[in-house]
Amino acid sequence: MATTKYSSVSEMFEGGNNVVKICAPMVRYSKLAFRSLVRKYDCDICFTPMIVASDFVQSVKARDSEFTTNECDRPLIVQFAAHDAQTLADAACAVAPFSDGVDLNCGCPQRWAMSAGYGACLINKPELVKDMVKQVRNQVDNPNYTASIKIRIHNDLRKTVDLCQKAESAGVSWITVHGRTSEERHQPVHYDAIKTVKDSVSVPVIANGDVKYLRDVESIHQLTGVDGVMVARGLLANPALFAGYEDTPLECIWDWVDISVQQGTPFTCFHNHLIYMLDRVSSQPERKVFNSLCSTSAVIDYLQSTYGSVHVLET
């Protein structure tokens, strides 16, 4: 764990009043370049996007395309979609030398995931989740390597508590709770449900959902008593959120340009992240022009002429 003073992820949750700040697993978005950016702005732990464990285990091409990291990309949690214990354990063993833990996705509500037996359907299979956690803990030869789960809640919260307690009995390292059911999308987050989970287990609990500013992190901590807060869309809009910025600062925008150029980020990804970052700080006519740009050089020229630069880029 090259970029932290802690010897393990679990240690980050122990013996302190600081809320651990986590970048969520986001399809297409929480890849190496974006993780490198948010780490510059006080993000403690980053997740990879969700990776289908069976594809990852069976295909070299899938491994090469789905999992990219470097020595500064720590602490790193690799999130997998899986529905059998041995496949998850095999995937965990493959990434263990290059990461600090694996997370089992038990919250993705997308139809394709649930129809394949992945994601949120697993919250209704506590014994299977328990077995998957146990096999990862048994087969990864590193006592500090974490095995966590990310869940959504049930309408009947007793089922959620039962799931979490079964996972705890299997040795789960920590639990992230997205405070919505699998049917809910933009409804308010049920922070009372997250607090109930936190009060029902002794392992660290992470809250996820509707964080737009750093002040939200502290208010959720006060409301629920959780050990950490995970952010997705809020970090897309403002990667400097955890450092206390209300909107994306110009320095962060140029940091993204630098990182993207250095790492060879594909243009679509590079451009889409900037569309998110500039949304709250640009006018509708500006957004229309920016969204139509078709090359990295055009984007850089636009940024320099519209916002100015904080330094001279080496491209």
Largest separation between any pair of C-alpha atoms in the chain: 58
What is the predicted pLDDT for the residue at 10? Answer: 78
Mean pLDDT of 188-209: 97
Mean pLDDT of 204-228: 96
Q: Using CB atoms within 10 Å of the CB of residue 185, give its burial: 0 to 12 exposed, 13 to 18 middle, 19+ buried.
A: exposed
pLDDT tens digits, one per residue of 253-297:
999 999 999 999 999 999 999 999 999 989 999 999 999 999 999
What is the predicted pLDDT for the residue at 12? Answer: 86
Q: What percent of the chain has pLDDT over 90?
A: 87
Q: Is a pLDDT exceeding 70 seen at residue 187?
A: yes
What is the predicted pLDDT for the residue at 62? Answer: 87
Q: How far apart are CA 140 and CA 240, in angstroms?
A: 34
pTM, two decimal places: 0.94
3 state SS of 63: helix
Contacts of 29 (CB under 8 A, 6+ apart): 49, 236, 269, 272, 273
Catalytically active residues are 108
Mean pLDDT of 298-309: 91
What is the predicted pLDDT for the residue at 8? Answer: 74
pLDDT band (50, 70, 90) for residue 185: confident
What is the predicted pLDDT for the residue at 9? Answer: 85
Structure tokens at 119: 């994601």
3 state SS of 215: helix
Nearest to 228 by CA among 38, 41, 22: 22
Contacts of 221 (CB under 8 A, 6+ apart): 19, 207, 229
What is the predicted pLDDT for the residue at 314? Answer: 39
- Name the region of 176 (left: φ>0; alpha: ψ -120 to 50; beta: rest): beta
Q: How far apart are CA 31 and CA 48, in angstroms?
A: 6
In sign, the C-alpha dihedral spanning 151, 248, 29, 69 is: negative
What is the predicted pLDDT for the residue at 310? Answer: 60
pLDDT tens digits, one per residue of 43-89:
999 999 999 999 999 999 889 989 999 999 999 999 999 999 999 99
Pairwise pLDDT comparison (4 vs 149), residue with the higher score: 149
pLDDT tens digits, one per residue of 91-136:
999 999 999 999 999 999 899 999 999 999 999 999 999 999 999 9
Q: Is a pLDDT exceeding 90 seen at residue 238?
A: yes
Q: How far apart are CA 74 and CA 23, in angstroms?
A: 12
Q: How far apart are CA 154 and CA 194, in angstroms?
A: 11
What is the predicted pLDDT for the residue at 6? Answer: 65
Q: Is a pLDDT exceeding 70 seen at residue 311?
A: no
Q: How far apart are CA 151 and CA 176, in angstroms?
A: 6
Q: Distance between alpha carbon 63 and the CA centroid of its chain, in Å?
A: 19
What is the predicted pLDDT for the residue at 2? Answer: 40
What is the predicted pLDDT for the residue at 15? Answer: 58
